[in-house]
Amino acid sequence: MDEIPQHVRALREGDDASKRKAALAFADLAVQRNDLRVAIAEAGGIPPLVELLRDRCEEAKQLAAKALFWLTYKNQNNKVLIAEAGAIPLLVELLRDGSAEAKQLATEVLFWLAYTNPNYQVLIAEAGAIVSLLELLRVGDVVAKSSAGRTLRMLTYNNDANAVAIAVAIGLEALVQLARHGRVISKEEWLVSNAGLKRKAALVVAALLGDCVPDSIPRVIMAVIGSYL
C-alpha cells in the first residue's frame, strides 16, 4: 500500500508511460481486496484514472477502464466517486469507439455503476449507452454479448423509461412485443421483462404509428395495441 501515493502522483504528473504503468498497477491492486480499493480512492486515485479515459492512447484508456472496473467491484462508495468524477459519458464514448477489449471493460464498469442505482441508470442511458450496447450485442463475441445483455437488463431495473427506450432502439417489432407480452427478446437474449410495461409500450407504439402511417396501420397491430389501451 505504500506505493499507492506514488502511483497517484504518476497519474497526475507523469509522462504517458508512467500513467499507463500506474493505471495497470491500480488494476492489479484493486482486483485483490476491497481494502486496497478503498486505499486507492482515499489517496485520490479515482479522478486521474477517469481523466485518463480522455487520453489519445487506446492502451491508456483501456488500462484506466480496467482499473475502474475493479474499483467499482462491490464498492458502493467508489461507484459514487467514479460517477462524480465524470466517468459515465467517457465510458459510453469508449463503449462506442474503443477497441473490443476496451468496449468490454467499459460495459462492465457501466453495469456496476447501474447496479441498483436508478440515478446512474438514467445518466448512462442519457449518455447514449443503449444504442452502443445493442450494437455490441449484435456484433460482439460471446463474452461481450453476455456483458452487453446483462448491462441492458440492469438499465431496465425498476426503470420503465429505459425499458421502452431499448425497445424503441431495436425497432417497432420489439415495441409491439413489449406491448403484447411485457418482454423483449433479441436473438435468444432477453433484454426487458416487465408485465407492467405493456400499457406504456402500447401507448408508444400507438403514438409512433399514429404520427407516421395513420391510414395504413395493419389491423392485426391495431388489435394488439387496442387490447392494452
Tracing cell 488500462 back to the chain, one arrives at: 63
Structural domain boundaries of the chain? Answer: 1-122
Q: For position 124, what pLDDT does the model report?
A: 97
What digits encode the pLDDT tens for the residues 15-50?
A: 999 999 999 999 999 999 999 999 999 999 999 999
Report the percentage of the chain scoring pLDDT > 90. 59
What digits encode the pLDDT tens for the residues 87-142?
A: 999 999 999 999 999 999 999 999 999 997 999 999 999 999 999 999 998 888 88
Q: Which CATH class is domain 1-122?
A: mainly alpha
pTM exceeding the 0.95 threshold for the entire prediction:
no
DSSP string for residues in 140-189: S-HHHHHHHHHHHHHHTTT-HHHHHHHHHHH-HHHHHHHHHHSEEEETTE
Q: For position 9, what pLDDT does the model report?
A: 96
Query: Average of pLDDT values for 216-220?
Result: 45
